[in-house]
Amino acid sequence: MVDIVDRQTRSRMMAAIRGKDTKPEMVLRRALHSRGFRYRLHGKGLPGRPDLILAKHLAVIFVHGCFWHRHEGCRYATTPESRPQFWAEKFTENVRRDSAACNALLADGWRVATIWECALRKPPSVEKSAEVVEAWLLSETRELEIGQTHPEL
């Protein structure tokens, strides 16, 4: 399928996609802050630059977009029809990089949570996600994953 916009417009649109302070990230940050959790943002010294670092709990949280990080089984993890080879390579590399960062953090003794964008789209699921994250932070569990395709929600 041919792109419906010209190359320059597509480039401008793609450049506008944010890597930090995204809407799902801001929603989760507000929910955790209101529950009394304090955190640092975008740890430059940590593998994968986690979105939230809760040093007191030795925990990091990644807020992943379902499209870019390929949330398996999610309806938002679509694949563009144009340039399928490019997108397959791009998504494979993103997933590989995410896995390597998670494994490195776990090996360094950090606890790792991945919260998918789909779990933060509506207020009821945001509150439920925040409850699950709060329970995880107060537990000893090493890993957590939350998304609409997960039974926690």
Query: Which residue ranges make up each domain of the chain?
Result: 20-146
- What CATH number should be reported for the domain whose range is 20-146? 3.40.960.10
Q: Residue 79: CB partners within 8 Å, gap ≥ 6?
A: 87, 88, 91
User: Rounded to two decimals, what is the model's pTM?
Assistant: 0.86
Query: At 9, which amino acid appears?
Result: T
Q: Model confidence over 37-49: pLDDT tens digits?
A: 999 999 889 999 9
The stretch 52-60 carries a mean pLDDT of 96
More confident residue, 10 or 136: 136
Task: Outline where 3-139 has alpha helix (H).
Answer: 7-15, 23-34, 66-69, 84-107, 123-137
Distance CA 54, CA 69 (A): 22
The stretch 81-94 carries a mean pLDDT of 91
- What is the bridge-based pairing of β-strands 143-146 and 111-116? parallel
